[in-house]
Chain A
Amino acid sequence: MRRYGGKCPLDLKSQGDQTSLLQTTIDCHGSETRLADWATLAMTWLIVDLTLFIFLPLQLDAAANSRWQEGGNLGFLSMASIMGVAGGVFLCLSALRFGASSWWFLIGHAGAFVAPFVAPAGLIGFPVSSSIVIVTATTLLAVVAGFCFLPRSTGSGVQDDAILRVFGRAFYCLGDIKLGITLMIALVVALFWGTWWESWYGLKSAHHVFYTSWWFGLLLLGFGVSLVSATLRKFPWRLDQTGWIVVHLALVLILVGSFMTFWGKQEGELGFGEGEAVSQFASATETKLEVRELTTRNGGRRIRRKVWESAVTFDQDPRATQPDEHFQVHDHGLRLFELLVDRFYSDGRERLESNDSGASPRLAVFANLLAPDGSRVPIELVANDPRRVSADVAGMLHLQLMDGVSDKVAQSLRREIGPSQTGQVVVLNGDSIEVVSAPMGEVPFEIKIPGQNSSLRILRRFDTFRVGGPNRWYDAAPGNPTNPAIEYSWTAKQEPSLAFAWQPGFAVHTSQAEDDATLNVRYKVASGYPLSPGTFVVARETGGEAFWVYQGARENDRLSGFGHQGESAELAPGLTIEFAKVHEFHSETPVFERKSYRSGNQVARVQVDIGGKKNRETWLPLGLTPTNIRVGNRDFELSWSKTTVPLGFRLRLDDFRRKFYPGSSQERAFESDVTVFDSASGSGEGLMIDMNHPLRYQGWRLYQARFSTQGGERSYLNVNRDPGLQVTWPACGLLFLGLVIVFFQKPFLRQVAHGTQGISTSKNTRILAVCLVLVGAVVAVLPGVILMFALGEGGIVLLGILAIVAGLWLETRLLNGPLARRLIRSPASGEVKS
């Protein structure tokens, strides 16, 4: 360590660093070290430049369809990242040039951090070609400057005040490998918990509690600081540390990229049908509460006017189910009411809560059936609900609810129509005034109608009418009236019609006698409404009281009574029914309960407070039906929905296609043809989006996400914008390259760096050797890359990867080893230096 007399800039290197593998001390001599430094820098920059400007853009370009690629965007952010590193390292080098002051050391640190963030600002608006020139020039300048300044460094050690020394020492200590390991272990523990948290509470919660929390950010920041310190404190770097430096810088860049993602990412979804156009999308992360006023203009047109909106955040943590958030709703500074959100479920299950305060009459009975064996079966019968209007209790009862029945049906249910009325044919005129009433005789027989030319001919009678048989219908059970009917015709018309006893208003077959007179034929049978044995009916006449009827095993066992709340009736020995609740104006309001912590049907409970008077709590599912609020004589509508974000351009879906595997119904691909309309020029461009080929436009990327077929085919696209990626991509490539150098090229580099002492070859030869090795590495990797890209997918890809690894390995064995041995042969003994 020529410049510091074997000490680090901060006079710390003498302690505690002897164990580092990369810090094997070597006794260097002036010019040799200079050369090694220079070679290190040159190689580093060469690798960085190659990676960023040639390798990665080519890769990305090949991966995405090139016409969707925004060269400018990609270019300048790549430049930005390299500028950042260049700036930081240049400052560090300058630190050493200017007497190894701790100031410069600190500034170097700051530069390495700040530059990646600052640099993009300076480059906005430059075309790609010029930014390449700028960055290459800067890089070259940094290298040349370092080369020129370094040899003249005085190396007089630390001459700053105590505070600075403490700062510098702190930074130096941050780069300790043991601190790094501790941080890595902390990271592992945090991630371990994070994955469990995710499987318990879902990804959104895990993001909130772990991955995007402040402490996780601090942990990552600490990791970054440690990385930078660890890298810089090893300065001056040796040739064999190249890979290691590249890896560390790449990791720092990845962290920078992830922070950029954290701050700048926007994502969401948009859905449209064929022919529709959209210019905005629903955000995946942000939601808002919105109040609109509903007014009716003359002409009955309803108008919605937005009164108030607020971005809400109570949906970030699924565990916080009782947010207790207050919102004051104002309209032009005038306070309208207060909203109180007191429940939030990230995945709510809807349950209907019943009450007796509905607007229209609707019968509902909640009863318990006490069976002979002592069991208690709860029964729920609700009118106008196909699933709950009837029920079966196995082996005991069939229950049925009949709401709003006519008085005739009610009477026949209760068997209040006497036996004297058995088998009567009644003819009514249009105003339901009885024209004639005749008892049934032997069919066929005729009934004369007063004042009419034609008479009524009764053709057949049925006790249990059924459709089918040779004569279109037949009597299924003569003598057992379960659906009594007659077939009749008017002598003037001859077409037979039907009249049913239990369905008096059966419209199809009730016919007119003659063109000028409307006459209805009714058929009355008085054995009561037919019920099969073991049927329990709760019924209510329109405007009447609820009553129940029970048909026992025998024909004449028909019990009845009133169904009041709290009453009970014994139907058979041991079989009792209790009316727990009877609702006459039944209504059901949806209530939500927590299903899980995962992200599903998000729902919040809102209470409206109008001047101290609180309304009923309402449940508000995310993005669904708004709820109405009435304040005085004004109507408002409250909704909770995803925030819409404008795209800045318009997108129209022209065609959506699903492709299948040949000969099967398994889907192979989804594709959307869209037209993009530029907002500035208004011109349209037709493009295709499919599962693996997103649309890239103006920094947005749109992916084919899913589709739905309900209400016409709709295609859904994921929308996102992630500024951090432009830094992350190159950094990942850099990281991979660095690791390859660490693990494959290090032996050679170490041999060159270590062997500077008894070297017999000239500097130029060794520079040539370094270049040769670099070229060798590229050549070694080439066959594998060609295999992978040129020969397509399938098994070849595996072969390509193996070929890359094998190529690198061969290169290490065949080229690097012999070259190093030739270069570093000690003149005295001729033996290879280790």
Chain B
Amino acid sequence: MNRRFLLFALIMLASFNDGFSQDSLDSKAPLELSSLRELPVLDGDRFKPLDSLARESVQAVTGRERFGSHDPVVVFLDWAFESEFACDFPFVKLPDARTAKELGFNVNEGHGTHRSWTELSHHQQFRGIVREALKTASEDRSVVEREALRLHGRWSLFAAIAGISHKNETSSLGYLPFIASAEEMREGVPYRWLSPAEASFDERATRALAALDKLRLGFRNEDALAFKTAADELVTAAAAIGYPASFPGAAKMKQEVFYHRVQPFFHASLLYALTAFLALLAFFLPRARLFAFLPLILGLGLHTWGLFERSSLSDRALIGNLYESLVFVAACAALIGLVFELQKKCRWFLLGGSLLAACSLAAALSFPEAMNPKITALRPVLVNNFWIHVHVPTIMASYAALGLAWVMAHAFLIRYLFHPENDSKSRELARLTYSVMPLGLILLLAGMVLGGVWADASWGRFWGWDPKETWSFITWIVFLVIVHGRWSGWLGDFGTSMGTMIGGWALMWTYYGVNFFQSGLHSYAGAGGPASPPPWLWIFSAIEISLCAFAVMRWRQQSSAISSLTQEAPDVAGGDAAAEGAQP
């Protein structure tokens, strides 16, 4: 009781900073969590270990998986078992500063970017906007209203975990594995798991509820031994109640916990970054090239393992959302880079492939709100279809190949700014850029056709000019133009690279931009309808455009120098296309 009073006093003093939260949660460090982590729970659509539920919930509410560098399970248990303190602590993440201001929050004062559940519950302006937003049809909602609803979602998720209610908005999360009655388990009837309060009416749950109470007590008193005993007892008691036939088994739970602990994609991205560094070094120290293969192969191995684990856990190919597709693109980029490097032995593919893979992984891991790492079930239209399982990976592989060409074009243009002369290295670089395109073109075409097969099987049309479809077709033609332009001699090395830049933008737009600006049937592949684009997109575009602009300026200088040369010696002038040097 003393400690609780102390905590309460601390909260009253309003010394809300991370230091405080660390103090209160750090003391839970000695608690033995391993058996509790693997406790199966049912969250909406699938069975998962408590560890995953905790990770996803903490991620969703606070915006970070490790809030204040705490184990998510500890934070989760803190919400559930010490809700009277947790609801006054700033756990709930606000939207970005501008939107937060529209909702009546100032991120520069109070608790910064987070607010407590209680504060949000009593915030009149925010709650007013939410009320209005709920009345508006979902497609008519403004950006602020949409953000307010997202914040409201975080707010109510927290309440559901903590088991607290506000006014009439009661909600409680059935996060503990108590099975509903037998007649509810019939085929085709939705059933759900119960929250402890609901389960208290079922006598089969008595033992588990008792264990849960002990667990609560152990957690609150920081009694490591009692906590561990209670956790073990809870796991056995829950299993004794019995799981439905669709429960994948305890081994899967263990596997999922392990998968999350290893963090394969994060570590792979580090290895790729190391590869990129070594490949860069290899331009000065040729021996470093061989050493660069090691982290690349290691990273690729880890990455592939991660992909297989994830698809084995979700029991499907990685086609669920933007996160999964981007992770897959990264793996393809690393693989293609490796294969081409082995074939061409030029260091460029090592650099380009690992850079692209590292950047894609970094992007996938750093924007959890746009790219949710949660493993989810598929929508009805995506289930049970062979073609969608082939369509998406093929398209992603083609994005990786074309993206690699795009990265090579960057390398060419950056080099061109400093060495604009038409030497063997620039010729080589342009040839390398070109050499990835065929693979990308084939895969993209195959992907589009497979998408057509799927669309035909699912909603009855092969091609419907959906924005995403049209844009992948545009991308295909742009790269086709480059290939034909090079064959016909219209495009030289510089032209190929500039064309590839344009192709890369088209690719980015197809993959990413369409989701934000042009809604369509592929919305489940993206952020769910048009939304406000993230600010770094503008910075990125500015860098790209200025790179191209400088390169074009440089090229004009160069070509005027050539033409002045050719004026002096008219016999040398062969014709514009020929001067660029057509490559067979």
Interface residue ranges, A against B (CB under 8 Å): 19-22, 24, 63-64, 177-178, 180-181, 184-185, 187-188, 191-192, 194-196, 198-199, 203, 206-207, 210-211, 258, 261, 267, 657-670, 690-694, 701, 703, 705, 718-720, 722, 725, 728, 732-733, 735-736, 739-740, 742-743, 788, 793-795, 797-798, 801-802, 805, 809
* Listed A/B pairs (7) with beta-carbon separation below 8 Å: A20-B487, A206-B465, A664-B192, A694-B457, A736-B442, A795-B307, A798-B328
Q: A664–B316 contact, CB under 8 A? A: no
- The total of interchain contacts (Cβ-Cβ below 8 angstroms) comes to 199
If A735-B449, A795-B308 are given as contacts, then 11 extra A-B residue pairs at C-beta distance below 8 Å, sorted by A number, are: A63-B457, A64-B457, A187-B477, A199-B518, A661-B377, A691-B458, A692-B384, A732-B452, A736-B442, A795-B307, A798-B393
How far apart are the CA atoms of A670 and B381 in the complex, in Å? 9
From A705, which residue of chain B is reached at the shortest CB distance? B459
Q: A797–B377 contact, CB under 8 A? A: no
Q: A669–B380 contact, CB under 8 A? A: yes
Name the one of A21, A180, A192, A665 contacting B190, with C-beta atoms under 8 angstroms: A665
- How many B residues touch the partner, as a band? 35 or more
Q: A743–B246 contact, CB under 8 A? A: no
Taking CB atoms, residues of chain A closer than 8 Å to B584 are 21, 24
From A59, which residue of chain B is reached at the shortest CB distance? B453
Taking CB atoms, residues of chain B closer than 8 Å to A662 are 244-246
Interface 0/1 of B436-476, CB less than 8 Å to A: 00110111011001001100111111111111001101100
- Could you say which of B18-26, B29-37, B43-51, B364-372 contacts chain A? B43-51
How far apart are the CA atoms of A663 and B248 in the complex, in Å? 12
Name the one of A203, A661, A692, A793 contacting B45, with C-beta atoms under 8 angstroms: A661
Q: B312–A19 contact, CB under 8 A? A: no
How far apart are the CA atoms of A794 and B394 in the complex, in Å? 13
Nearest chain A CB to B480's CB is how many angstroms away? 6
B418 at the interface (CB under 8 A from A): no
Q: A669–B315 contact, CB under 8 A? A: no
How far apart are the CA atoms of A736 and B442 in the complex, in Å? 7
Taking CB atoms, residues of chain A closer than 8 Å to B193 are 663
Q: Which of B322-361 contact A (CB under 8 A)?
A: 328, 335, 339
B481 at the interface (CB under 8 A from A): yes
Q: B445–A739 contact, CB under 8 A? A: yes
Name the one of A185, A690, A795 contacting B481, with C-beta atoms under 8 angstroms: A185
Taking CB atoms, residues of chain A closer than 8 Å to B485 are 181
Taking CB atoms, residues of chain B closer than 8 Å to A21 are 487, 584
From A719, which residue of chain B is reached at the shortest CB distance? B460
How far apart are the CA atoms of A575 and B364 in the complex, in Å? 61
B559 at the interface (CB under 8 A from A): no
Taking CB atoms, residues of chain B closer than 8 Å to A188 are 474, 477-478, 481
B416 at the interface (CB under 8 A from A): no
Taking CB atoms, residues of chain A closer than 8 Å to B279 are none
B85 at the interface (CB under 8 A from A): no
Q: B442–A63 contact, CB under 8 A? A: no
How far apart are the CA atoms of A801 and B439 in the complex, in Å? 12
Taking CB atoms, residues of chain B closer than 8 Å to A180 are 484
B317 at the interface (CB under 8 A from A): yes
Taking CB atoms, residues of chain B closer than 8 Å to A722 are 461-462
Q: A668–B459 contact, CB under 8 A? A: no
B577 at the interface (CB under 8 A from A): yes
Q: B449–A801 contact, CB under 8 A? A: no
**Given A19-B489, A661-B46, CB of A793 within 8 Å of CB of B386:** yes
Q: B465–A794 contact, CB under 8 A? A: no
Nearest chain A CB to B62's CB is how many angstroms away? 25
How far apart are the CA atoms of A412 and B489 in the complex, in Å? 98
Q: A797–B45 contact, CB under 8 A? A: no
Taking CB atoms, residues of chain B closer than 8 Å to A261 are 462
How far apart are the CA atoms of A692 and B477 in the complex, in Å? 30
Which 9 residue pairs of A and B lie closest in terms of their CB atoms, listed nearest first? A662-B246, A665-B190, A19-B489, A795-B311, A743-B438, A199-B518, A177-B488, A732-B449, A692-B385
How far apart are the CA atoms of A404 and B355 in the complex, in Å? 79
Interface 0/1 of B177-204, CB less than 8 Å to A: 0000000000011111100000000000
How far apart are the CA atoms of A692 and B307 in the complex, in Å? 26
How far apart are the CA atoms of A670 and B192 in the complex, in Å? 20
- Chain B interface SS verdict (over half): helix
Q: B317–A736 contact, CB under 8 A? A: no
Nearest chain A CB to B356's CB is how many angstroms away? 17
Taking CB atoms, residues of chain A closer than 8 Å to B215 are none
B73 at the interface (CB under 8 A from A): no
How far apart are the CA atoms of A63 and B384 in the complex, in Å? 12
Q: A668–B383 contact, CB under 8 A? A: yes
Taking CB atoms, residues of chain A closer than 8 Å to B390 are 788, 797, 801
Name the one of A195, A267, A739 contacting B470, with C-beta atoms under 8 angstroms: A195
Nearest chain B CB to A218's CB is how many angstroms away? 17
How far apart are the CA atoms of A815 and B374 in the complex, in Å? 45
Q: A735–B445 contact, CB under 8 A? A: yes
**Given A722-B462, A743-B439, CB of A199 within 8 Å of CB of B380:** no
B517 at the interface (CB under 8 A from A): yes
Taking CB atoms, residues of chain B closer than 8 Å to A690 are 384
Nearest chain A CB to B52's CB is how many angstroms away? 15
How far apart are the CA atoms of A505 and B443 in the complex, in Å? 81
Taking CB atoms, residues of chain B closer than 8 Å to A691 are 380-381, 383-384, 458
Q: B317–A196 contact, CB under 8 A? A: no
B42 at the interface (CB under 8 A from A): yes
**Given A195-B467, A722-B462, A739-B441, CB of A793 within 8 Å of CB of B383:** no
B387 at the interface (CB under 8 A from A): yes
Q: B481–A665 contact, CB under 8 A? A: no
**Given A198-B467, A664-B190, A801-B390, CB of A177 within 8 Å of CB of B484:** yes
Q: A660–B190 contact, CB under 8 A? A: yes
Q: A657–B487 contact, CB under 8 A? A: no
Interface 0/1 of B95-116, CB less than 8 Å to A: 0000000000000000000000
B519 at the interface (CB under 8 A from A): yes
Taking CB atoms, residues of chain B closer than 8 Å to A728 are 452, 462
Nearest chain B CB to A98's CB is how many angstroms away? 32
Q: B478–A793 contact, CB under 8 A? A: no
**Given A743-B439, A793-B316, CB of A718 within 8 Å of CB of B380:** no
B208 at the interface (CB under 8 A from A): no
Taking CB atoms, residues of chain A closer than 8 Å to B317 are 793-795, 797-798
From A211, which residue of chain B is reached at the shortest CB distance? B465
Taking CB atoms, residues of chain A closer than 8 Å to B518 are 195-196, 198-199
Taking CB atoms, residues of chain A closer than 8 Å to B315 are 794
Taking CB atoms, residues of chain A closer than 8 Å to B47 are 663
B555 at the interface (CB under 8 A from A): no
Q: A666–B45 contact, CB under 8 A? A: yes
How far apart are the CA atoms of A659 and B582 in the complex, in Å? 60
Nearest chain B CB to A577's CB is how many angstroms away? 28
How far apart are the CA atoms of A19 and B484 in the complex, in Å? 11
**Given A181-B484, A663-B42, CB of A692 within 8 Å of CB of B393:** no
B277 at the interface (CB under 8 A from A): no
Taking CB atoms, residues of chain B closer than 8 Å to A657 are 188
B389 at the interface (CB under 8 A from A): yes
**Given A24-B584, A692-B385, A798-B317, CB of A199 within 8 Å of CB of B439:** no
How far apart are the CA atoms of A732 and B474 in the complex, in Å? 17
Nearest chain A CB to B86's CB is how many angstroms away? 27
Taking CB atoms, residues of chain A closer than 8 Å to B307 are 795, 798
Name the one of B191, B393, B470 contacting A191, with C-beta atoms under 8 angstroms: B470
Most buried by B among A195, A666, A797: A195
Q: B488–A805 contact, CB under 8 A? A: no
B490 at the interface (CB under 8 A from A): yes
Taking CB atoms, residues of chain B closer than 8 Å to A22 are 487
Q: A720–B461 contact, CB under 8 A? A: yes
Taking CB atoms, residues of chain B closer than 8 Å to A733 are 449
How far apart are the CA atoms of A691 and B390 in the complex, in Å? 18
How far apart are the CA atoms of A814 and B193 in the complex, in Å? 58
B397 at the interface (CB under 8 A from A): yes
How far apart are the CA atoms of A195 and B467 in the complex, in Å? 5
Q: B488–A794 contact, CB under 8 A? A: no
Name the one of B394, B457, B458, B474 contacting A801, with C-beta atoms under 8 angstroms: B394
